[in-house]
Structure 1
Amino acid sequence: MTTLAPLPYSVQWDDTHITLLNQQALPSITEFIELHSVDDVYDSILTLKVRGAPAIGLTAAFGVALGAKQETTAELGDFKRNVTRHIEKLASSRPTAVNLFWALRRMENALHAAQSISAAKEALVTEAKAIFAEDEEMCRKIGEHGLSLFTRGDSILTHCNAGGIATARYGTALAPFHLAKERDFPLKVYACETRPVLQGARLTAWELMQAGVDVTL
């Protein structure tokens, strides 16, 4: 069986910071940047360093956890108010991103349920990791269902970028192609161009080439 090239995790939690694949630099430069503050997270969403609705939600969730871990106040009420301000700031970064608000609501619920600062910090990290794990599993299942529709040697046209770099892993529309490569199931992919930021060439073709998928732009 052909070995699958490792998919890039576009969002990674590293306890003291977030490591992010800078999608603005692709495809000529594969750059991972570190986000050390809520302001860094806000900027990464605003400037499209992270894109794709699921990846935006994941980054924001980890941003809330990061901001909470950095809070030094000793009073629970002040702590919750400060973290709520972080949530509000991140919510303003992309007003049309559905996953962003969905993830932030989950983080806000975890915050309000906590009975101590230490419990809140732990709960927020746990919730952000849960959101990540759920997205990865959902994308894998999308890939399983999608792959069941194809036969070996099929040629498929895909549009824009709905890949692993826009999610926790695997992607949505691209998930079947990654699983096909993993299982040595030959498929031919045609990636058409997308305006205005050339997602087909810059992102989809790059991502599938990284994974060793047969792709033509």
Structure 2
Amino acid sequence: MKVKIGNEVKEYKNVWMEGNIVKVINHPKLPHFFEITELNTHKETANAIKTMIIHGAGAIGVTAGFGMAQAALEAPDRNFDEYISEAANTLKNTRPTAQNLFYAIDRVIVSIKKEDSVEKKRKAAIKEAQRISNDDEQACRKIGEYGKELIKNGYGILTHCVTGGLAFVDYGSALSPIKFAHYEGKKIFVFIDETRPKCQGARLTAWELLQEGIPHAIIVDNAAGYYMNKGDIDICIVGADRVASNGDVANKIGTYEKAVLAKENGIPFYAAFPLSTIDLECPGGNYIPIEERSQDEVLYNYGKTDSGEFERVRVSPLGSQVKNPSFDVTPAKYITGLITPRGIIKPTKKNILGLFK
């Protein structure tokens, strides 16, 4: 992805591995500072996923895959398999909703089990983790190439949360069609939901679109219906953290209400994701585990003051309790189509199964 540093524009991936070190763009520091964080062990990598130093469905999947490669490098010869199993559990227990994380970990484990020596197992883990990263990047590029055809010149586009290169290795899911439409010279305008409580839209998606020079505006989460009703929004494109086999989509909290509003206003609503987000063993959205995060994310705001200091301030009264689900489920009936690396399909079980043939 493009990153402006001073007067230069450089290309960065969101996550990569050098030797035994996993390197990630530090998300909490954005948009105020661009910083690369180095993760030296699989436990540090797991903590980075859990604390959302890096997040986004594809990104945490790739990062977890690299974490498994780190574990393979760390594991003692004598207890190699036991160490790998424990590392897999540590990484799987970081974030429960995103399917990509489990997909990546299991892929590395399968590659390890095919080998008969510890040295070969280590090499297989590293190779498979890198392959997962490459697959993620190419899948997101294909999503952009297919999805750009949905975006016409002059369109207003609503998106939610962080779905660009910062949510994957590069390009993104929902932002990928937007970027490719922009590259073709289409005049577009993006409405970015702020995406409370972590404000990933206001902080990360806005930052990424600024790097690309794509016109946009941040709107409060409750304003989407207003702009839909005004006729300013022509299409909605969101990402996904897990997709059930029947086409139900789990995504960042607030997605469901946007889909309902879009249907009420006759606006097409699409979800974009790589195949690694699909959970074929999940029959429907009611079976998707929904992560409940810390009350502090809602009780406090954190940001940069006019004097340049970073402060956390409480915005809610002492004694108030918080419910903070990080995701919700949008039933397939509210979704116009699914943008995948293999084309755009209607959200039905038959079509989803067909993606894997």
TM-score of the pair, normalised by structure 1: 0.91
SS in 2 for 1:49: coil
Q: Identify the residue that residue 47 of structure 2 maps to in structure 1.
A: 43
Equivalent runs, 1:133-172 vs 2, <5 Å: 133-172=134-173
SS in 1 for 2:38: strand
The question of 1:57 aligning with 2:58 is answered no
Q: Distance in 2 between the 1:192 and 1:38 partners?
A: 33
Asked if structure 2 preserves the Cα contact closer than 8 Å seen for 1:20 and 1:32, the reply is yes
Equivalent runs, 1:31-110 vs 2, <5 Å: 31-71=35-75, 73-75=76-78, 78-110=79-111
Asked if structure 1 preserves the Cα contact closer than 8 Å seen for 2:92 and 2:101, the reply is yes
Give the % identical residues: 37
Asked if structure 1 preserves the Cα contact closer than 8 Å seen for 2:151 and 2:181, the reply is no
Q: Identify the residue that residue 128 of structure 2 maps to in structure 1.
A: 127
Q: Could you tell me how far 1:198 is from its partner in structure 2?
A: 0.9
Name the count of aligned residue pairs: 211
Q: Distance in 1 between the 2:21 and 2:68 partners?
A: 11
Q: Distance in 2 between the 1:7 and 1:185 partners?
A: 23
The question of 1:204 aligning with 2:208 is answered no
The question of 1:111 aligning with 2:115 is answered no
Q: Could you tell me how far 1:127 is from its partner in structure 2?
A: 0.7
Q: Distance in 1 between the 2:186 and 2:22 partners?
A: 34
Letter in 2 for 1:160: C
The question of 1:19 aligning with 2:23 is answered yes
Distance of aligned partners of 1:79 and 1:169 in 2 relative to their CA distance in 1, 3 Å threshold? same
SS in 2 for 1:33: strand
Q: Distance in 2 between the 1:162 and 1:83 partners?
A: 30
Q: Distance in 2 between the 1:97 and 1:141 partners?
A: 21
Larger radius of gyration: 2
Query: Which structure dedicates a bigger proportion of its chain to helix?
Result: 1
Asked if structure 2 preserves the Cα contact closer than 8 Å seen for 1:80 and 1:112, the reply is no
TM-score of the pair, normalised by structure 2: 0.56
Q: Could you tell me how far 1:8 is from its partner in structure 2?
A: 3.6
* Unmatched 5+ stretches in structure 1: none
SS in 2 for 1:216: strand
Q: Distance in 1 between the 2:166 and 2:77 partners?
A: 38
Q: Distance in 2 between the 1:126 and 1:74 partners?
A: 19
Query: Which structure dedicates a bigger proportion of its chain to strand?
Result: 2
Question: How far does the alpha carbon of each residue in 1:107-166 deviate from its partner, in whole angstroms, 9 at most, with x for none?
Answer: 111111111111111111111111111111111111111111122232212121111110
Letter in 1 for 2:107: R
Structure number with greater CO (CA < 8 Å, separation at least 6) is: 1
Letter in 2 for 1:13: M
Q: Distance in 1 between the 2:68 and 2:212 partners?
A: 31
Q: Could you tell me how far 1:6 is from its partner in structure 2?
A: 5.0
